[in-house]
Amino acid sequence: MADAQRVPPQHPLAEVFGFPTDNHSPEAQRHRRAKLCPYHNKVPNCTKDKALDPLGVCSIYNESGEATITCPIRFREDWIIAEDAASFFFPAGTSWTALTEIRLKDGNGLSAGNIDVVLVAYDERGKLLDFGSLEVQAVYISGNVRNPFYHYMQNQTAALEWSGPNYPRADYLSSSRKRLAPQLLYKGGIFKQWHKKQAVALHKSFYATLPELPEVAPQEADIAWFLYSLEWHAATNRFHLTRDRVVYTAFEPAMLKITTAPAGPIEDFRAHLQPRLNNHLNPPDAPAPQDILKGSD
């Protein structure tokens, strides 16, 4: 069970190589020393940003002081996300497994990108029976997170404090506009045409910034949105992935809601256009050549 809310320190780093910055247990020190990823990366080491010089920041504190996941691999703790998605895709008792980074092509044979996780159901002989897609969306960071990360790694025992320009913050807007919406529209559109279910794993604070999506009953849903948080446990001084709730939606209404920006007053836009039109139709008189020459004397 999660403990009381952790008081965020005076810096943005919630987890570095899987552990809070003030966790100095032998296990935490070993992970930082060897740059290990405890969350089922494709190799034992962290490879975020650069394989040789990884940015080992799993999560940062948002403006509310909540640890927010900024690395998609962080969602793989104990493979809770796969188990949750399987419960939506398949009947109880189904044999299934998870395959990561699966290439998807469109009807023209062109790449539609990679699917983060494909869950596949199979029979006792290993024959594929069914499948569904699981997209994992971490939060983008605005500002510079490498500087406080480097500063901390140089002296891990000191109390870290960090402030100033380019302070790293969770950029929920860019995360939805540049990543989540395009990924779901393109890859999700293909799965919708195949009549295959989809799941999305994301932080609850990220989901809270999206428009309110029209919900449906689980048996009518195309997409299940699994919302998670990082709950701090004082006994181990670690954060643990915890499912907060599930939102079930149909595909088209959810995509329309996410990709349609709310319109502001049309009068404001007209008021902006009028002076631009005035300048276009009545441009300022160009200076005469002699005036230009006088100005250069």
**So what's the pLDDT on residue 179?**
85
Given a contact cutoff of 8 angstroms between Cβ atoms, the answer to whether 213 and 258 are in contact is yes
- Mean pLDDT of each 10-residue bin along the chain, 297 residues long: 62 95 95 95 91 93 93 96 98 97 94 95 97 96 94 83 88 88 92 97 95 96 98 95 97 92 92 94 70 59
User: Beta partners for 149?
Assistant: none
Collapsing DSSP states into helix, strand and coil, what is residue 23?
Answer: coil
- Residues with Cβ within 8 Å of 138's Cβ and at least 6 positions away in sequence, in order, are 69, 70, 71, 72, 74, 75, 175, 202, 203
Predicted TM-score (pTM) of this structure: 0.87
- Residues with Cβ within 8 Å of 238's Cβ and at least 6 positions away in sequence, in order, are 19, 20, 23, 232
